[in-house]
Amino acid sequence: MDLNLQELERTEFPVPAELENNIAITSLSQLYNWGRRNSMWPMLFGLACCAIEMIATASSRFDFSRFGFEVMRATPRQADLMIVSGTVTKKMVVPIVRLYNQMPEPKYVLAMGACASGGGPFKEGYNVVSGIDKYLPVDVYVPGCPPTPQALLFGMIALQRKIDGQSIANGDDVPWYGIGPAEPTPVPVLGPDIIDPRQMDMIRRQAEAAAEDMAMVGQRELPSATQLVAAKVATAETTGAASAAISDDALSFVLPTGGNPWTEAEEIREKRRLRALARKAVRASRRSAEAEEE
Amino acid sequence: MYGTGLAKGLMLTLRHFIDSFVDDLRYGLRKYSHSTDNFGLRQGTEAKGVITVQYPDEKVAVPERFRFVPFLIVEDEDHPTRSGKDWCTSCGICAKVCPPQCIWIVRGNDPNTGRPVPEPEAFFIDIDICMNCGYCAEYCPFDAIKMDHDYELASYDRTSHHIHDKEKLSKPASYWRSIAPTRAYEEMLVRGTWEHKDAAKEARRGSASPRASSRAQETQAEAAPAAVATAAAEAPAPPAAAPAEGATPWSEDDAKREERRRKALERKAKRAARSGG
Amino acid sequence: MVSPALAPDDVVNALSIEDSIAYLKSKHPDAVADDEREGYSGVLVQASKLVEVARAIRDDLGFDYLSSATAVDYLGAGDHMEMVYHAYRTSGGGALVFKAQTEREDPEIPSLVRVWRGADFQEREAWDLYGIKFPGHPNLRRILMWEGFHGHPMRKDWREAYYEEEQKPFDNRWPGGHAHRSEEKNVFGKNVTYPPDIDLNRLMDTSESEVYASLGLGVDVERILDKDGFETNELVVNMGPHHPSTHGVFRMVLTVDGETVTSLEPVMGYLHRNHEKIGERNTYLHNIPFTDRLDYISSMGNNHGYVLAVEQLMSLGRKYNPPTYRCEAIRVMMVELSRIVNHLWAIGFWLNDIGAFFTPVLYFIQERERILDFFEAVAGSRMMCNYMRFGGLFGDLPERIKSVSNLTNDRIRDYNTMQFLTEMVNERIPRTIDELEQLLTQNEILLERSIGVGILSGDDAINYSAAGPLLRGSGVAYDVRRADPYSIYPELDFDVAVEQDGDMYARYRVRVTELRESVRILKQILPRLEATEGESIWADGKPGAYAPRVPFGEAYGRVENGKGELGYYVVSAGGRGGSSNPWRYHVRAPSFINLTPMGLMSSGYKVADIVGILGSIDIVLGETDR
């Protein structure tokens, strides 16, 4: 692998021109992240349709080894990254959480495809978990059904970017260097339906309420985005106002544009737009020149 | 002899190994030149094996029919009369034909009369449910919803990024023509004009001699494809540049529309005068 | 017609379906009656006499192959449960359909496992999803859901947590679309419901213990406790659901004596995504992209089977035009291409399993990428093609396989479609098959690993309802394309691949031969495509409606897919003048039923062979668990 020292350099410590590509001054975090992100070993672990595209990504045409996702490890003990590639069922989520607990830290989860992100087309099914993030922390979501190999590669590069942005000094970024052993994720139980141990109290309350023939109690806190979308629709209904007016206020923070951690896509689009504009201008000038000649 | 089968197989792997270098040598330094011809050749049927696509630096462009998540077509910003208007008439067929039911449409109502207007007030697609089947695009009678080719959508947070609202879904008609020139052209032939179906219908109803105008559109259409294909292949450029004389495809309709609007205003004035009287 | 009751065996064996039914009625006059519902076929058999009649069907009439056994819940349409069986003759011909009805409350139908072992998993599935008990079944446990799950989810009155409405499209999508995620309406934020009598203080996960309890109870298991005077303990080994060689989330529980497997219990359902429950809510059209996700290696074949089943139903109606010739030709071409993809994939990963680690499979994936490029250009997606429609196709072949620039750094490709196809069919694919053979067919290690391992005899293969290369590798020349032809296969020239040995190597040989036969078919298709250039791909000359109504009745459409016989049992009922949503939508999944003889095939072999045997069956979990 060719070593690109510029990747590591930090602008606040300039290197004399004659030493460029020989010396790089960097921070510990950056060096650590650089090493880490270029040796992300995914777990050899396929769930459904997306797994086939994952294999295609690993094969010679797309070859994710180029990014250091070098070897797929069949054991969780040697893996850094879990690619949840496909529909997660209630029956399967139990082993998945166990596997996650067995992975050594630092560990990352990439939800590949619509099913792993949010249940996908099978969401309404009685045996389908609507998104692995109901049980595990997910770092990158790759939409698509299934994502093409290039879309998966994009997601993997996105994960590398995320790692780049982390700092050893920040406990939120690298919780695994805290004091004491890390908490394992509680493993769900297959009862009459799947039971998340974290929700035990809630299930008990509901069961008690049901036993006393009362209505279900308790209101779940909605995720802010959809709550706002719902509010937006509600206002639209009551006021009958035009959509433009609502999308300005309510939706501006539903779909934040400023705080987006992943701006590459936007950058690409912007570049593409500028390119197109430039071409358009060239064409226009050519056309006007031709018109003048005539 | 025992072992010959094994040796034969190993010879094959060796040949593959050598072939990959021979192939590289054949293209020499040109393989780094990012030339399009080269790429097409090496990824096509004539090449030996598959050559790795250096993904972020070179990407396999997706074919026209490729489908990822849907998007909505709105009129181009430089359209003279309908700039930024939706092609969608909120008929709801996409929501009905969607297998996992990931489309929600709020039909637009006129704030004054309360009557439905042919534009959606809100439009949501949950891309965590969408199965990229393309039915919405296939069965839309107004060619207003299409499947996007942009697959680079990975995000760090699905709650805020994966429900696409109307703003995020809307893309100009020229974008569609740029990603799928052939299909856009075929659809145009069916519609009879580059315009939205309703606008075209209105225009046809408005024109004095419908047959003549449709013939005019046909000739225009015949002139268009080559220009469209070349224009679109290189950049997202509206096929506005298609006709030789530089007139936009809708300029002809414009005159008619202006005429019609004037007539409508006259009628309205007359009616108002009558009811007032 | 000969008097059937007195006829000698060989005459009875050759009776037509109608005569067979007459024979059954004359032999069991009080137990067998015609199914006279509109659009239905076959006979209704009294449940108490079912085993007896089934024996007569198998032994007297020669319908030795039970293709499908499935349950239907007729809630509100007769209020009964029904088991539907499709039996075929391995010598070819149509199906003898017979059904047995029972009450919805506490349903019971005698088990047919003693007649056809192939009914084993299918009856377990009916118990799991419909709650029908099968007295006489040796191991009636849940198969797709876990033991302890509340209720039987496929019953019409069982509703899941995210239940919205009985049928799609759902009302709230338009015109006042309330955008929300389903989890917001559920108190737990997940799609879970708990029965009111749940006792959290004594909560036990019984799913695992039940799996182990069922060991040694399977149909095929003979327990060897102590051998040769040694007191040896059997060891239970779990393989899966996370295991690199199980081709997905499949699990096998083995009991081993040393290194030798004494019994094997397949455990599945880890990818049970409720395909059929969702399918009954979908409209007919909605189901096509869902079928893509069954056997996700060869989605074109899945589309074909489903489209055939619904077209069969549609042909019961008055206005029906069969698909055009060009449409059929393109369908067959696509299906054969995906068979090539499927077999390349299957052989590649089987070789992986028995130690040829990744070199061959990488070579085959290269070829697969070419075919997928073609699928992507024609159908719009590499894997989930969603290409076929009722009476037509999504679109005709494009003139050029062309990509246009869109993102930065995009590289354009542009090929002529017919030229691309011709080169693929005449040069690339045959070359790959040659290489495949050169690489491994004579490889001594492969021969030693695969010859004589995982043997399944021809009789067992039929009795266990094995299908596809698994059946043909055991010397039974049964290929749906020849035995019960559909589409334009009758006029195409190809041979049914068959090998006599019944071991892993025989299945490998069958697949290689089928690859060559597929190329042979494709070579015949290409001139047909050129000859029909310009013909419409739509039966009615224009694209079909987005919400077709389908006449009442039942249909069983089956195709020979890469993995074996893929069947769709579709019932149209309810509503007036035909239905928009299927009442019952069942998939006869070859991957699922081919696992029934897995225990039989693997006992006595070493643990390392199990991996290869599973690979040689070639399962895909999307189809196994649905």
- Using a 10 angstrom Cβ sphere, with 0-12 exposed, 13-18 middle and 19 or more buried, the burial of residue A106 is middle
Lowest mean pLDDT among A155-159, A255-259, B3-7: A255-259
> Which structural domain range is residue C115 located in?
4-130
Contact status of A151 with chain C (Cβ, < 8 Å): no
> Among the three residues C130, C152, C186, which one is the final residue of a domain in this structure?
C130
Contact status of B124 with chain A (Cβ, < 8 Å): yes
CA dist., res. A59 & res. C553, Å (int): 46
pLDDT band at C341 (very low <50, low <70, confident <90, very high): very high
Q: In what order do the strands lie in the sheet with A81-85?
A: A81-85, A108-112, A140-142
Is there a domain that residue C432 lies in? yes
Q: Please write the tens of the pLDDT for every residue from C367-421.
A: 898 899 899 999 989 999 999 999 889 988 888 888 877 777 777 788 888 988 9
> Among the three residues C95, C130, C165, which one is the final residue of a domain in this structure?
C130
Surface of B (244-273) touching A: CB under 8 A: 246
> Among the three residues C83, C103, C130, which one is the final residue of a domain in this structure?
C130
Contact status of C190 with chain B (Cβ, < 8 Å): no
Contact status of A74 with chain B (Cβ, < 8 Å): no
pLDDT in tens, chain B (277 residues): 788 888 888 888 898 888 877 877 777 666 665 555 677 777 777 777 667 888 887 888 888 889 999 999 988 888 777 777 888 888 889 998 999 999 988 888 888 887 888 888 888 898 889 999 999 999 998 889 999 988 888 888 887 788 888 888 898 888 888 888 888 888 888 877 777 777 777 766 665 444 444 444 444 444 444 444 444 444 343 343 333 333 344 444 556 666 766 777 777 777 777 665 4
pLDDT band at C87 (very low <50, low <70, confident <90, very high): very high
CATH code of residue C42: 3.30.460.80
Q: Which of C177, C241, C273 is opposite residue A122, by nearest beta carbon?
A: C273
Domain ranges of chain B: 1-60, 68-243
A-B CB pairs within 8 A amount to 175
* Mean of pLDDT values over A154-180: 78
Site from B62, B109, B174 to mutate, C interface, most C CB atoms within 10 angstroms: B62
The more confident residue out of C300 and C197 is C300
Tell me: pLDDT of A233 over 90. Answer: no
Computed over every residue of chain C, the mean pLDDT equals 86
How far away is chain C from the Cα of A9, in angstroms, using its nearest Cα? Answer: 26
* Mean of pLDDT values over C44-48: 91
CA dist., res. C433 & res. C424, Å (int): 12
* Mean of pLDDT values over A79-87: 90
Tell me: pLDDT of C516 over 90. Answer: yes
> Which residue, C583, C615, C610, is CA-closest to C256?
C610
Q: Which of B53, B65, B104 is opposite residue C379, by nearest beta carbon?
A: B65
Residue C181's closest chain B neighbor by CA?
B126
Q: Given a contact as 3+ CB pairs under 8 Å, which chains touch B?
A: A, C
Q: Please write the tens of the pLDDT for every residue from A119-142.
A: 889 998 899 998 898 888 888 999
Both tokens of residue A187?
Answer: 């493993």
- Measured between beta carbons, the chain A residues lying within 8 angstroms of B169 are none
- Measured between beta carbons, the chain A residues lying within 8 angstroms of B152 are 150-151, 154, 264-265, 268
Q: Are residues C271 and A233, on separate chains, in Cβ contact within 8 Å? A: no
Instruction: Find out whether the peptide bond into A106 is cis, omega within 30 degrees of 0.
Output: yes
The kind and range of the H/E element at C415 are strand C414-416
How far away is chain A from the Cα of C163, in angstroms, using its nearest Cα? Answer: 7
> Which residue, C552, C554, C549, C551, is CA-closest to C569?
C554
Please tell me the predicted confidence (pLDDT) of residue C344. 92
CA dist., res. C37 & res. C29, Å (int): 19
- Measured between beta carbons, the chain A residues lying within 8 angstroms of C156 are none
Q: Which amino acid is at C426?
A: N
- Rounded to the nearest angstrom, the gap between the alpha carbon of residue C10 and the centroid of all alpha carbons in its chain is 32
Please tell me the predicted confidence (pLDDT) of residue C272. 92
* Mean of pLDDT values over C17-30: 88
Q: Which fold has domain B68-243?
A: Alpha-Beta Plaits (3.30.70)
Is there a domain that residue C438 lies in? yes
Q: Are residues A60 and C194, on separate chains, in Cβ contact within 8 Å? A: no
Please tell me the predicted confidence (pLDDT) of residue C133. 92
Please tell me the predicted confidence (pLDDT) of residue A214. 55
Contact status of B167 with chain A (Cβ, < 8 Å): yes
The more confident residue out of A71 and C53 is C53
Tell me: pLDDT of C552 over 60. Answer: yes
Exposure letters C22-53 (e unless 16+ CB within 10 A, then b):
bbbbebbeebbeebeeebbbbbbbebebbbbb
Is there a domain that residue C256 lies in? no
Q: Which of B108, B153, B156 is opposite residue A261, by nearest beta carbon?
A: B156
Tell me: pLDDT of C580 over 50. Answer: yes
Please tell me the predicted confidence (pLDDT) of residue C88. 92
Is there a domain that residue C218 lies in? no
Domains identified in chain C, total number: 2
CA dist., res. B165 & res. B70, Å (int): 11
Q: Are residues C203 and A195, on separate chains, in Cβ contact within 8 Å? A: yes
Q: Are residues A218 and C187, on separate chains, in Cβ contact within 8 Å? A: yes
* Mean of pLDDT values over C13-38: 86
Computed over every residue of chain A, the mean pLDDT equals 74
Q: Tell me what ipTM this predicted complex has.
A: 0.87
Lowest mean pLDDT among B252-266, C9-23, C258-272, C436-450: B252-266
Is there a domain that residue C501 lies in? yes
Contact status of A225 with chain C (Cβ, < 8 Å): no
